[in-house]
Structure 1
Amino acid sequence: MKIKHTFLVTIAFAALNSVSVAQPKKPAVSAAVPRPKLVVGIVVDQMRWDYLYRYYDRYSEGGFKRLLSQGFTCENTNIDYIPTVTAIGHSSVYTGSVPAIHGIAGNDFIDQKTGRSIYCTEDSTAQTLGSTSDAGKMSPRNLKTSTVTDELRLATNFRSRVIGIAIKDRGGILPAGHTANAAYWFDDKTGNWISSTYYMKQLPAWLDKLNAQRLPEKYLKQNWNTLYPISTYIQSTGDNMRYEGKFSGTDAPVFPVLTSTMAKQDFGIIRTTPYGNTLTFDVAKAAVENEKMGQGEVTDFLAVSFSSTDYMGHRFGPNAIEVEDTYLRLDRDLSAFLSYLDTKIGAGKYTVFLTADHGAAHNPTFLTDNKIPAGIFPSSQVLKDLNAVLAKEFNEDKLVISLSNYQVSLDNRLIAKNKLDEAAIRAACVKYLRSRDDVAFAVDMDKVEESTVPEPLKRRIINGYSREHSGVIQIVTQPGYFSGSPTGTNHGTWNPYDAHIPFVLMGWGIKHGSTARPVNMTDIAPTISALLHIQTPNGAIGQPVNEALK
């Protein structure tokens, strides 16, 4: 039997060897993942959604109109947290996350352990490059999560180049993420664009060369008058209105604005002129040109924020000629920049998206003059009055150290030291705040779910609460009320004027069309991640807008 079995096996092997068996082919080298050559993320600081259409008739064909006519617009994009401020907005756009997760709870926020106020991008370990001022002691270290720009770097083994640019440090630093090649921002003291040692040992030669051109001086010497005859600005109030703030040293908020004389005292004045946006475009174009962005084998990412629109809004308010003129000039600059990208990168080879970090309210006096309820929430006085109420009940002064970001931050060290009843203190705060006519809701963060607050607001309150960096009570003012100056405007609330933002995509991989379905700010980073076939940021809670993608 053993001999027979061996014989059969031998025959079987011989049969197999006589058959021609196709050998597996070696795997072919994988084709490159389909991606655009360059992604340009544009955040227009304080751009209300309706600015896309308020001045639509006066926009050029190549700027905002081009984005709308060739791209995909999400018409119902809203911020899904409170408070709505610049640092959180930029962080949330690029992380797809919220303060509860990414930790950036305001432009400034209170460390709840120490009571110390922290600036969002402060970093004592970093040094300034390009100036002798402290304006460069900044980095993204306070941001707890990754950004879509970080994820692109990770996906390409750090071959992708990522650069962030904005007049505001936080507008350049937070979008660029932790692994960026560079972030650049403006220094008022010198008029230079600067950076920090977090990114590099010295500024690149091309930026030194650009700084040597003294562009801020050149722009400011031109003064600022309206782009078109002032009588044509029919979407705005008159040239000299009590709703508007004025420049220091001037008698009234009127045109022309003599920036040539102001520049001698402070280069920072360019922030509150349309020239600040033009200057930002200059730096963005120089970065693309000199860093050869979009010209390599992998996708690069330029994150650029236009900060002057925010300074303008704060000073003049949404209904001023100054703001209308700023957007008409921004549109013209945007058109020129997109044309530059068409030539340099190639039309259809780059993707651009445009959004905002927050919107802005109408000036309260303007609203009341037009019979719409509104007012100023006097936060400084409220802080004094609240502490006086608490002092009577708990026999301690200044139990509340801040009402910043519409949140009550308590002196936790004092409460612990004197073994005070924190729950009772919170309850007293809520009771006082609810007694005010300008407050709609005051919510103890440990009792959000049981509060009588509409569900959409509950979600935003929870999303905006960082246990480490947020106050323990969230104040929700009445519609039309905000904390700030009686002139110009402010933001920070949940209301549509602060939270309804543009989100438009155009270029490689983007369909033409629109959607009116609800989209959140936190959906932006997942959408770009899906476009690029990369992992979403590690704290993202949003979902991609799939209908915008080819």
Structure 2
Amino acid sequence: MERRFFNFPLILLFLLLSFSTEAQKRNRSRKDQSSQPKLVVGIVVDQMRYDYLYRYWDKYSNDGFKRLLREGFNFKNNHYNYVPTYTGPGHASIYTGTTPAMHGIVGNDWYNRTTGKNIYCAEDKTVQSVGSTSTAGQMSPVNMISTTITDELKLATNQKSKVIGVSLKDRGSILPAGHAANAAYWFDGSNGNMITSTYYMQELPAWVQAFNNRKLADQYLSQPWNTLLPIEQYTESTADDQPFEGLFAGEKKPVFPHNLPELRGKTFDMLRAVPFGNTYTKEFAIEAIKAENMGKGQVTDFLALSFSSPDYVGHQYGPNSIEVEDNYLRLDKDLADFLKFLDGYLGKENVLIFLTADHGAAHNPNYLKSLRIPAGTTAGGMMVDSLKKHLNQKFGTADWVSSFMNQQVYLNHAVIESKKADLVAIQEETARFVQRFPGVLRSITADALMRSHWEGGVGMLVENGYMPYRSGDVMITLQPGWYEGYGRGEPKGTTHGSPWGYDTHVPLLWYGWQIPAGESSQRSHITDIAPSLAHWLNIQEPNGTTGKALQQYMQK
């Protein structure tokens, strides 16, 4: 019989070494899981259609958009999942991880039934301007009713994280920074300075005052706006001087060069409407990071950065203009400069960046019609005037309609109650009546929204944008290619706000800390950004979040 001898000391040593190796792996895994980026930078480009990433591809540098796409992860099928697609709701939805139905920012403005007046999304009359004698600083996030990912970061670190919002637009700075931010700064065109409000502080920090003293706005507006490249190279755009392009006050034709020193007037507001506004914003963002030592502490800091100028340029000239193309070529250079700064300041491996947009933009209806593509405009004022007459004939003479905005009809509830009229019946009659106007695809009553649920399509988008005490009584959706013309003659430039892909489909790029290079065609939503950040940061998602984390789709 064969005898086998076991070297028990050797086996024991082997087992101990195996357990030690596994323990080291687990410890490394825990360390990797608990490690955090030193700085998160959220970049929102105001009015950036998804196709802008590729439309101007051949003219972008290698260090801006191309670098983000080359070294980062691209969700190619990223959409807004509600209407209306406006700036205020867009910024709020990105950072809360939910839709206007939950966070309450149902438009840039909405009708306040209590006061009988419109209210602006960031309006707060209880606070005062800091850095200005104007009322431009009477702003705060008080109207947003859910937390943001930036709020949750502050809560998770016991207020140790620094959170700062930066934008030319107040709403582009305030809503992303959240309720608990250290600061939010925005541009005041009356004095050409970055300002804030007493919601955040009583006096501008010394570094902000020093930045304002550089008078950069005045410098940028002291030069004409000419094309970055020879104008004949802008082959991705329609020729200069189109009838559907808008004008600066004082201009006779919408053509280059735009003589800013002659056109600017007595304020600095024009900085918003030219690409130099992006450069100004970038310079301020860099100064904020350096002066506040963001990313240099023991916890993660967060810069919420929004570039507003593309929205102003787009509204005036439209998405097919040379002006819009030039704006994006210049923004590409600003992004390249910003990424280069972060490389030297913290290093790519320590910064987590996402880039997205708050909405897209429609083609101008007249441009589409010139190509025999169905399109048009509706006159909202004419529609409401006709509606009022119809309701008077149907229910008796009264002030039945309080307001029409955001493609929504607000009925006068006080009058309806005083006359003991049937609110639902008036809603339904209103919905039926507006359906007859050209360009109207469908109309949905508030009662129907409260009693029904849509899993997809236009109904879902309207439902996700509806909040009972802030939204209207009848929500109107226009056909693709149509938008409201506001009764001022032929529409110029562009607008946004619809449920269609040209307004909902926007970029979503991730870059930097632990982000693999790659892309996905998986449909994602703007509300997925905040829970994805929460997953990476190991913190609670915002309290109204309805989106999902995207890490499972981020494969090379």
Interval of TM-score (by shorter of Structure 1 and Structure 2): over 0.9
| Counterpart AA for 1:269 | M
| Counterpart AA for 2:258 | V
Counterpart of 2:536? Answer: 531
- Give the match's secondary structure for 1:75: strand
Q: How far does residue 398 in structure 1 lie from its aligned partner after superposition?
A: 3.8
Counterpart of 1:375? Answer: 376
Give matches, 1:144-543, under 5 Å.
144-448=145-449, 455-484=456-485, 486-543=491-548
- The CA distance in 2 between the partners of 1:385 and 1:451, in whole Å, is 29
- The CA distance in 2 between the partners of 1:372 and 1:271, in whole Å, is 32
1:67-112 alpha-carbon deviations (Å, 9 max, x no partner)? 1000011100110011110000000000001111111110001124
- The CA distance in 2 between the partners of 1:274 and 1:406, in whole Å, is 30
Residues 518, 554 of structure 2: 8 Å contact kept: no
1:219-275 alpha-carbon deviations (Å, 9 max, x no partner)? 111110000000000011111000100000110101101111223422101111001
- The CA distance in 2 between the partners of 1:484 and 1:50, in whole Å, is 25
| Counterpart AA for 2:514 | G
| Counterpart AA for 1:283 | F
Q: 1:236 to 1:140 in 2, by over 3 A?
A: same
| Counterpart AA for 2:184 | A
| Counterpart AA for 2:527 | T
| Counterpart AA for 1:323 | V
Q: 1:488 to 1:144 in 2, by over 3 A?
A: same
Q: 1:125 to 1:451 in 2, by over 3 A?
A: closer
Residues 383, 437 of structure 2: 8 Å contact kept: no
Counterpart of 2:50? Answer: 49
Q: How far does residue 384 in structure 1 lie from its aligned partner after superposition?
A: 1.1
- Give the match's secondary structure for 2:522: coil
- The CA distance in 2 between the partners of 1:358 and 1:373, in whole Å, is 22
Further displaced range: 380-389 or 100-109? 380-389
| Counterpart AA for 1:257 | H
- The CA distance in 2 between the partners of 1:398 and 1:441, in whole Å, is 25
Q: How far does residue 448 in structure 1 lie from its aligned partner after superposition?
A: 3.9
Q: How far does residue 357 in structure 1 lie from its aligned partner after superposition?
A: 0.4
Give the alignment's TM-score, normalised by structure 1.
0.92
Residues 433, 439 of structure 1: 8 Å contact kept: yes
Q: 1:210 to 1:405 in 2, by over 3 A?
A: same
1:316-347 alpha-carbon deviations (Å, 9 max, x no partner)? 00000000000000000100000000001112
Q: How far does residue 422 in structure 1 lie from its aligned partner after superposition?
A: 1.3
1:382-441 alpha-carbon deviations (Å, 9 max, x no partner)? 111111111222223442222211111111112112222212211211111111231000
Counterpart of 1:547? Answer: 552
| Counterpart AA for 1:515 | S
Further displaced range: 383-392 or 35-44? 383-392
- The CA distance in 2 between the partners of 1:532 and 1:157, in whole Å, is 14
Residues 399, 415 of structure 2: 8 Å contact kept: no
Counterpart of 1:20? Answer: none
- The CA distance in 1 between the partners of 2:140 and 2:455, in whole Å, is 37
Q: 1:385 to 1:454 in 2, by over 3 A?
A: farther
- Give the match's secondary structure for 1:77: strand
- Give the match's secondary structure for 1:403: strand
1:421-474 alpha-carbon deviations (Å, 9 max, x no partner)? 212211211111111231000111222488899942221111100111100211
| Counterpart AA for 1:195 | T
| Counterpart AA for 2:460 | R
Q: 1:100 to 1:338 in 2, by over 3 A?
A: same
| Counterpart AA for 1:379 | G
Q: 1:294 to 1:376 in 2, by over 3 A?
A: same
| Counterpart AA for 1:67 | L
Q: 1:395 to 1:56 in 2, by over 3 A?
A: same
- Give the match's secondary structure for 2:373: coil
* Number of residue pairs aligned between Structure 1 and Structure 2: 522
Greater Rg over alpha carbons, structure: 1
Residues 113, 412 of structure 1: 8 Å contact kept: no
Counterpart of 2:19? Answer: none
| Counterpart AA for 1:358 | H
Gap runs ≥5 in structure 2: 1-26
| Counterpart AA for 2:472 | G
- The CA distance in 1 between the partners of 2:473 and 2:66, in whole Å, is 44
Residues 285, 337 of structure 1: 8 Å contact kept: yes
Residues 513, 548 of structure 1: 8 Å contact kept: no
| Counterpart AA for 2:87 | T
Residues 449, 458 of structure 1: 8 Å contact kept: no
Q: 1:451 to 1:180 in 2, by over 3 A?
A: closer
1:117 and 2:118 are equivalent in the alignment:
yes
- Give the match's secondary structure for 2:34: coil
Residues 112, 471 of structure 1: 8 Å contact kept: no
Give the alignment's TM-score, normalised by structure 2.
0.91
| Counterpart AA for 1:517 | Q
1:275-333 alpha-carbon deviations (Å, 9 max, x no partner)? 11110001100100100111111110000101110011111000000000000000001
| Counterpart AA for 1:164 | G
Further displaced range: 32-41 or 304-313? 32-41
- The CA distance in 1 between the partners of 2:303 and 2:96, in whole Å, is 15
Residues 511, 548 of structure 1: 8 Å contact kept: no
Q: How far does residue 125 in structure 1 lie from its aligned partner after superposition?
A: 0.8
- The CA distance in 2 between the partners of 1:377 and 1:451, in whole Å, is 28
- The CA distance in 2 between the partners of 1:487 and 1:451, in whole Å, is 38
Residues 531, 549 of structure 1: 8 Å contact kept: no
Residues 96, 526 of structure 1: 8 Å contact kept: yes
Residues 355, 510 of structure 2: 8 Å contact kept: yes
Residues 509, 549 of structure 1: 8 Å contact kept: no
Q: 1:452 to 1:155 in 2, by over 3 A?
A: closer
Gap runs ≥5 in structure 1: 1-27
Residues 115, 412 of structure 1: 8 Å contact kept: no
Residues 355, 502 of structure 1: 8 Å contact kept: yes
- The CA distance in 1 between the partners of 2:485 and 2:37, in whole Å, is 43
- Give the match's secondary structure for 2:119: strand
- The CA distance in 2 between the partners of 1:455 and 1:345, in whole Å, is 43
